[in-house]
Amino acid sequence: MVRGADRDLILGLGLACLWTATLEMFHIVPAIDLWIQHLFFSPVPCPVGSRLDAICGSFPIGDVAALQTVRKVLFDLPFVVTGLVLVTLAWAVIRPGRFSMPALRDMAALLATMAIGPGLIVNVFLKSYSGRPRPMQTDLFGGDMGFMAAGQFGGACHDNCSFVSGEAAGAAWLVCALVLLPTPLRRKALPIALGIAVLTSLLRVVFGRHYPSDALLGFLLTFVVFQLVRLGLRALPLPAYPSPKSHQ
């Protein structure tokens, strides 16, 4: 029988392998990204004087005001929940005995995941140094930069680039945050959290801000980081902490 710790390790390694395989697939077959992106691109005649091979157009769904509002709400949601987790953890430290140690450990894992995944790996490193232009910046979709496949560094983008999607990574974090809920409530909330995460990722694609690979890899990256951080914290010895008080 596989023990809980071994099962968690297998899951973490499996997620890392899935992320790597997904990156490899999009890198080897970039036509997947391009085909899906073309579904949302609307070409228009180029102005007089444009290059003969120029492609002009836009992603019109990105101009829908209602969807822009939805995107703004979804953008803010992970930060709101992160703030709630941070306040709860701080309160638990100040007023010990309110939460179990495993619950506190999961809160710490969530906060560390947000900082390491969407924070450092995605926004500080990948989006700053990958060089991958966003679809709307690419000459295949009305921009002026060359297309770069997923995982191919060295493109013309110099800052806040397409690889990977920070919003998809943050939305996936909301799914990870369900670990704090009781099991019955977690099962009910899972479809909602997944729906929010999928909608967030989809909007980035249809708006022309990210390729499907950016969204999917950003989404999966957060799960990889959370599982590995959680494993690391579980390996640490538990400090002395009062058990949750029973309420009569």
The pLDDT value given to residue 248: 39
**Biggest CA pair distance of the chain:** 80
With CA atoms as reference, report the closest residue to 143 among 129, 161, 125, 126. 161
Classify residue 108 as exposed, middle or buried by CB count within 10 Å of its CB (0-12, 13-18, 19+): middle
Measured at the CA of 183, the angle between CA 182 and CA 187, to 5 degrees, comes to: 120
Q: Across the strands, what pairs with 56?
A: 44
Q: How many CB atoms lie within 10 A of CB 177?
A: 22
The whole-model pTM stands at 0.92
What single-letter amino acid sits at 199?
L
Q: State both tokens at 205.
A: 């694609």
In the prediction, which pLDDT does 7 show? 81
d(CA 94, CA 88): 10
**What's the mean per-residue pLDDT of the chain?**
93
pLDDT for 244: 65
Query: Among candidates 172, 176, 161, which has minimal Cα distance to 195?
Result: 172
In sequence order, the β-bridge partners of residue 58 are 42
Cα-based distances in Å from 169 to 118, 210, 227, 236: 6, 12, 14, 26
Measured distance CA(125)–CA(188) in Å, rounded:
35
Is the Cβ–Cβ distance between 148 and 158 less than 8 Å? Answer: no
Residue 44 one-letter amino acid? V
Which residues does the chain have with pLDDT short of 50? 1, 246-248
> CA separation (Å) from 118 to 55, 79, 130, 207?
33, 11, 15, 20
The identity of residue 9, as a single letter, is L
- Specify the pLDDT at position 238: 65
CA distance 225 to 74: 21
The answer to whether the beta carbons of residues 172 and 223 sit under 8 Å apart is yes
Q: What interhelical angle do 166-176 and 101-114 show, nearest 10? A: 180
| Residue corresponding to tokens 């009910």 | 188
Contact 61, 136 (CB under 8 A): no
